[in-house]
Structure 1
Amino acid sequence: MSVLTLASAPEDATALQSAEAHHARLAGELAGRVTMLFTAVDRDPSAAERIHAGLVAFCDRSLLPHAAAEEAALYPAAHRMREARLLIESLIGEHRCLTALVDALRAAPGPADAVADARALQVLFEEHLAKENGLVLPLLAMTPEISLAELLADMHHRLANDSSAKGIQEDQHNEEGHDMYEGQIEETGGCGGVCGCGGTEESNEPELDVRDVPHAIRHATVFGALDAVPAGTAMVLVAHHDPLPLLAQIEQRNPGAFAVEYLERGPEAWRLRLSHR
């Protein structure tokens, strides 16, 4: 089903869709990392420590710089509009809450002490993005006097030149490559050569169940979870179908990095162990 995008110019419609896609990737990666932290705390405390550290690093590298760039490049234009002024001020307040939650994660003495703040961070960030996607971005895109495309270009320029956001350009380049390749994967149904059957018994690896994860962020959630799996360890993925397109994307994203074993092949669930070589 096609989605109607209202904008004052074609380039703003494209910019709006691009911004929403990037938001989905950020939300998905955060959700994956938080879920891995929750499951690892109970199953593998040593892995939980690494996942906790990786979550804080992700927030410092991607989430907080993104929020700062929005305030500098995107929010001022919306704040000048009377109908959006109070909303923008509330969103800036939410940025302060996000920063406080990341600081709490950083200061937590251990992973078990961080899980509540991690879940709160995920919930607040998803609600925050819903307001931006549903209200702020469409309003800017539909206003003829404002170029959303130029505002987002300025925002990306600030991110690229922010020393605290080092590496974001590379991440965005990789993400764009996934998006371009996704259509090819959907058509071929290939798995990139990473699949292997196995009857290995389940162990205490962290588990990621994506059956209830919204489709828009499902693959990004898996990528975020995999980024939290150190070499020499594994996670168990639970899906409602055989995830061949996803496996192909994983292989393209990190060639040869993950071995795949099927633990269960439906009909209610597919369970796969993804081992980081």
Structure 2
Amino acid sequence: MSRKSERLVNLVIALLATKRYITKSEIFRTIEGYEGSNESMERMFERDKDELRSLGIDIEVSGLDPLFDDEVGYRIRAEDFEMDRAGYSAQEIAYMSLAAQLWKDASLSDVSQKAIRKLSAVSGPADISEIPAFAPVILTAPKFLGDLIGAMTDRRVVEFKYLNSEMNAHNRKVHVYSYFSLKGFWYFTGFDVDKSETRTFRSDRVFGELSVSKKTDCYQIPTDFKTDLSFEENRSLSEAQLRVRNGRGSQLRILASSIKTGEDFDIIRVSYSSEEEMLALILWHLDDVLVIGPESLKRSVIEALTQLVEVHG
């Protein structure tokens, strides 16, 4: 943790723990990290207050004596810091946490940090294996998502290198029409200037940096444009045969083409087009799901678990 982050954490703890307003001089004297001249500590404290407020942490300010205009004090009320948990189940909070994490390090990072802080104060135990299938891979939002949204809003042209199916990089110049997430991956659709046709691009195949032109209003989105998801239908399918514990794996059961009931485990068959997506979904269910076949999928699960043990012991 950086010195600044440690100082901010200590400041929040102190302002939460106090039962009265505490002055700046008390803060400078008792909280580690405030050092230097009075002027430098004053500037540091003002920046810290602004940063905490940008995260949604309300700092209450009041004079120590209502009859005199003397030094002011500061505190954080616990009821303002915590989110009211009434009306939310543990699973609903888990959903909201995933939604907030989706925007982490993207265009809504400040909003997401505020949401995550609020949610962490009320989160209870949730059965993560029963959160729908997007949960294991929803955190793959591209770093350039904010730039993409801005380009579409301002009608700016984006340029990037794109990896084709043979993993060769080619330059693309695109007028962005829409962006969306599907089965754990982010896509954007737009008019490919060089190809003179509308195409859909998968964000994780963008190689290197995505650049956005400075000029605005370079194009118009057709009034009759609709995002076309039919490209998903053209992807070749494989079939997984899985043993799923009774009463578990609801998202896998929804996808199943057949289910054969058993005493402790059911045998289900699930068609999939991306082994990466299926692998993430299987691992998400821990020991409630065992792979029978195909062998390639079984090997991928074993390799992933082996790597996990090597990293975490």
- TM-score exceeds 0.5: no
Greater Rg by CA: 2
TM-score, with length taken from structure 1: 0.19
Which one has the bigger strand percentage? 2
Greater relative contact order (CA < 8 Å, ≥ 6 in sequence): 1
- Give the structure with the higher percent helix: 1
When normalised by structure 2's length, the TM-score is 0.17
